[in-house]
A and B are shown apart, each in its own frame.
Chain A
């Protein structure tokens, strides 16, 4: 439809499939439902960064259902597993990008280097193509050349970038960006923020402030707050999601760099504990390398 990276997605999922999760399929391919199956499953889920607790929980749930429902065929056990995995990902709240409103404001947050700026470029491109008028706010005034980076992407995505000088107050940037969005009748504002570790108190406070500024200017803004997560991240992603949810109420996750070999299995743990859904996946460094997240396709893809 938009011509973005469809091929790449299937490429990267194929790679995933042929590795760890592909083995799950083969696990279910023959043999019996026995202890060995559960052990192997445990090993494979943990190796996909699903995490010990979530893995144990998943296996326990599937085991119980297998017993209760009198399942004997491996294929049926597999569908149960898929169902349960998908359930963890299906955070109930629907995306808030597309609701009718004057201007939709999206705050993009995450730890250093996770892929925030690139994701914003991809999202800008994605929504511009859907006919929306996008404005980018360069609120990372801290990292060296972060503003230049966003400006280059803005040019490529063909949208306006509101920026101040390096080290300027990020709050002022947000303020200006929203003001100009209202006056130019833009309908989507994407705010790029400086990468920060979720454990840094002052930096998290600063994010909260940005949130407040947006809310004062535009009703109920930010309407989406996205945590960009590097797919390579292990269990620390859970701590990230927890902290960012506590301080800026993230509404969704973008799983970036899924074109690598990492599985991003920690999103199952995030879904389970925090109910925060994945909104998009990043599958490359190009501006088109983004896909809306589809939990069924994600889990199906993992199983081949």
Chain B
């Protein structure tokens, strides 16, 4: 319900004139929305309170700008404060003596084993020589799970019988690493509750025996209010050095990250973004902040676009777009570019409000990756079957031409007509953007986040 904070704030501030300073009452009205958004995102109640107080102090009395709306101004402050709380991403500490021991700990089911494999792959990619250690002797087949992952990645796994105590297994693993020239040792420990004294003591014994450089809490991004107590519990008893947030590929807003950061102060090191071993991302505070505020992952999208799109092509089509000269030839070129960006649905998910939209759509089939891909392929086939003349000037397309194109692309005349009407609609939309007002609005949308 609070999917788009920006829209909400816009609503709150719409009644205001855009002159003078932000009043206390206005700020409070806006912050009520911010508070709700943060609570909906699972940021801990007490942390939200402190946070709101900080933003309030900064926002009250600031001078209103002409370039951006008051709503965007408040969001900007909120965003900045969130960034401060989230902190910068930090690399894994590889200082000190080799082998560097990295210990992964956390509640049951938070994703430690999968993360261990991801980290190992990450290090191997950067030319390190990691050793995985199966130190979860409690959960049935946990050792086997790590062994399978190790085999898949061709990364060695140290394991012993499940009757051996985890501290001993870990100590042995460090010896094995030394003799085997492994410079990184990743300990996959059993999941445990922070209130389980015996098991927390076990972690300390592992620490004493292996002297890890990093003790990373692996936490589920779907965690609720209790994140505070869990993180505090682990931090007090075993001194965390960092945090890895998992299952970020879902739709959880991830407010727990704020809570954990606020009570432990340790940096967030990585995000787990999928089930595959390569699905590990370096943490970007700005993206997570936008996500927590429910504003989508615009930055990721922009970055991805920058990564894979051909700048020249993009600029050319942008110019044509604005000049109203965008034709089917350009459309084809764009399609081919978009395809390079990966699964379309994954991209769309990064857009703010997209999830709300899909929830409203009854026929979710139409939005499936499969369907979108089919649609794109069909479009591509149709345009490819046109002559250059037809692409540049679709108006020449009469009945017999359409029939020929349908045949050539393995589609129907109906499909061809559909595409043409879509294209016309698109052109109409583009004309809207030609109006300076609309363009300014579009620019404004991104301004708040610079």
Contacts and interface: CB of A to CB of B under 8 A. Distances in A.
A42 B364 CA distance: 36
A260 B229 CA distance: 11
B195 A261 contact: yes
Contact of B250 (A51, A198, A230, A257): A198
Contacts of A197: 247, 249-251
Interface stretch (B96-104, B120-128, B219-227, B303-311): B219-227
Interface in A130-151: 142-146, 148-149, 151
B250 A153 contact: no
Interface in B209-237: 220, 222-227, 229-230
Contacts of B188: none
B244 interface: no
Q: Which of B40, B139, B140 has the most C-beta atoms of chain A within 10 angstroms of its own C-beta?
A: B140
B368 interface: yes
Contact of B138 (A115, A198, A236, A285): A285
Given A47-B225, A262-B226, A144 B152 contact: yes
Interface stretch (B58-66, B105-113, B396-404, B406-414): B105-113
Interface string A117-140: 000000000000000000000000
Given A114-B109, A115-B109, A263 B36 contact: no
A232 B141 contact: no
B360 interface: no
A145 B253 CA distance: 30
Nearest to A43: B45
Tier of interface size on chain A: 35 or more
A48 B107 CA distance: 18
A112 B247 contact: yes
B266 interface: no
A236 B253 contact: yes
B144 A263 contact: no
Interface string B7-43: 0000000000000000000000000000010011110
A233 to B, nearest CB: 5
Contacts of A85: none
A59 interface: no
B149 interface: yes
A237 B220 CA distance: 12
Tier of interface size on chain B: 35 or more
Nearest to B254: A236
Nearest to A194: B275
Q: Which of A114, A142, A201, A202 has the most C-beta atoms of chain B within 10 angstroms of its own C-beta?
A: A201
Interface in B64-81: none
Given A145-B144, A260-B193, A236 B226 contact: no
Nearest to B37: A52
Given A111-B247, A145-B148, A260 B45 contact: no
A240 B345 CA distance: 19
A232 B107 contact: yes
B224 A233 contact: yes
Given A145-B145, A263-B226, A112 B111 contact: yes
A295 interface: no
Prevailing SS type, chain A contact patch: loop
Given A145-B145, A236-B42, A48 B111 contact: no
B216 to A, nearest CB: 17
Contact of B40 (A52, A166, A233): A52
B442 to A, nearest CB: 28
Interface string A222-265: 00000000101111110110000000000000000101111100
Given A111-B247, A152-B140, A263-B226, A234 B145 contact: no
B251 A232 contact: no
Contacts of A111: 222, 247, 250
Contacts of A232: 107, 220, 223-224, 226-227, 230
A65 to B, nearest CB: 25
B256 interface: yes
Contacts of A47: 44-46, 225
A285 B108 contact: yes
B314 interface: no
Nearest to B147: A145
Q: Which of A15, A239, A259, A263 has the most C-beta atoms of chain B within 10 angstroms of its own C-beta?
A: A239
Contacts of A152: 140-141
Given A202-B369, A262-B226, A52 B247 contact: no
Interface of B: 1, 36, 39-42, 44-46, 107-111, 138-142, 144-149, 152, 193-195, 220, 222-227, 229-230, 247, 249-253, 255-256, 275, 345, 349, 364, 367-370
Given A197-B249, A234-B223, 14 more contacts: A49-B224, A111-B222, A115-B109, A146-B145, A149-B140, A152-B140, A197-B247, A199-B249, A201-B367, A233-B223, A234-B222, A234-B252, A261-B229, A261-B230
Interface of A: 15, 43, 46-49, 51-53, 111-115, 142-146, 148-149, 151-153, 166, 197-199, 201-202, 205, 230, 232-237, 239-240, 257, 259-263, 266, 285
